[in-house]
A and B are shown apart, each in its own frame.
Chain A
Amino acid sequence: MTGWWRRNAVALGVLVVVLPATFVIVASQESAQRGGASHDVFVPLGESVQYAGATVGPAQAEINDDPAAPRGTRVVTVTVKIDPDPTNPIACLSPQLHEVDGPRRAWNERSVELDRGFDDDITSCSSEESAPYSLRLEYVVPEDATGPFTVDVNSVEGWPDLARLRVEP
């Protein structure tokens, strides 16, 4: 038996190197192909985070009945402080509201549907705004959605990271 091992020592040595290498290469290829997956940066309640050059947060939320919203729903109003980098201000879409527990539903910003009109509320980050400001976001959620939630601030500059700010109305 030792004769067999000795005769095939070179081949066995190659196997020892090649087999683990195969796993590493296949795994790294797979993860590279799934590069779209975002890396969530969780921000605890009342805290802020450095994201895409800006200080994002803290975020606050309240939940209220609202005559403009349909029966069986309530409106979650979220404010998110944004302190942009004046040389390269952050741009972002209106963040989505995500349920942390339970069915993990997600809602879009709804001030347009709530007919709030074109007031001064800012619902997305503008790359032309270099002074600190607050996003004011309104979400219509079913009555059984009581939080906690996260508000997901998502910017091209911050990709693939995503700032998830926890709020508890």
Chain B
Amino acid sequence: MLVLAWLVALVTPSESAHEAPFPVAAAVADEGIGRNIAVRVDEVRRAESVVEGGWTAEGNWLVVDLEAAAVVEEFGVSLTLATFTVDGRTYRASERPMSLLQAGLFAGIPQSGSLAFELADDVVDDTGVLRFAVNSDTRLDSVIEVSVDLAELETEASVELLPTEWSSR
């Protein structure tokens, strides 16, 4: 009876399970494909300064070069959610430079570009997770998750963001 009760407790879904997002784990250089989002992170770099066109800013930057596309539908679909979670804190991709953040996505046609995350100064060498989705409300929708170990990354003096354009692959 006790064992049975324990089993039932074990398999009972949590309160939020019925509206939880569907995470899709992908490694750097692998494409993660969800319901209506496909993302491939090509390169992750750290920099003391970020350059985009004539704009530049100093800080503790994480720069992500990636390709993103919609899968089935592109009407009103854009890369709305791009976050990096580390040390229990979640950073949204910076809106300061022009980047792939909020870029409209095309069905089956990848676009390349970059995202820049401005981290707190005390974030040094922990492992964090990048998350990408087409809506900021991710309930019951796919979220592409890419794990990034900051300790493996060298910090460069300056990194230039890629322009957002049709991918040439």
| Chain B binds chain A | yes
Write the residues of chain A forming the contact surface with B, with a CB cutoff of 8 angstroms: 69-73, 96, 103-108, 140-142, 144-145
> If the complex has contacts A70-B166, A72-B169, are A96 and B75 also in contact, measured as CB distance less than 8 A?
yes
> If the complex has contacts A70-B166, A70-B167, A72-B169, are A108 and B108 also in contact, measured as CB distance less than 8 A?
no
Q: Give the residues in chain B near A73, CB-CB below 8 Å.
A: 109
In the assembled complex, B74 has its CB within 8 A of some CB on chain A? yes
Q: Decide if B74 touches A106 in the complex (CB within 8 Å).
A: yes
Cα of A69 to Cα of B109 in the assembled complex, Å: 10
With an 8 Å Cβ cutoff, the count of chain B residues facing the other chain is: 13
Across the two chains, which residue of chain B brings its CB closest to A110? B106
Q: Give the residues in chain B near A104, CB-CB below 8 Å.
A: 72
Across the two chains, which residue of chain B brings its CB closest to A73? B109
- In the complex, which of the residues B73, B75, B168 contacts A71, with contact meaning CB atoms closer than 8 Å? B168
Q: Decide if B168 touches A105 in the complex (CB within 8 Å).
A: no
Across the two chains, which residue of chain B brings its CB closest to A69? B166
A-B contact count (CB 8 A): 38
Cα of A144 to Cα of B71 in the assembled complex, Å: 13
Across the two chains, which residue of chain B brings its CB closest to A104? B72
In the assembled complex, B51 has its CB within 8 A of some CB on chain A? no
Q: Give the residues in chain B near A142, CB-CB below 8 Å.
A: 107-109
In the assembled complex, the CB of B110 is this many whole angstroms from the nearest CB of chain A, namely: 8
Cα of A72 to Cα of B71 in the assembled complex, Å: 15
Across the two chains, which residue of chain A brings its CB closest to B168? A71
Cα of A103 to Cα of B74 in the assembled complex, Å: 13
Q: What 14 additional pairs, Cβ within 8 angstroms, besides A105-B108, A107-B106?
A: A70-B166, A70-B168, A71-B169, A72-B169, A73-B109, A103-B71, A104-B72, A105-B72, A105-B107, A106-B75, A106-B107, A140-B106, A141-B109, A142-B107
Q: Give the residues in chain A near B108, CB-CB below 8 Å.
A: 105, 141-142, 144-145
Across the two chains, which residue of chain B brings its CB closest to A143? B108
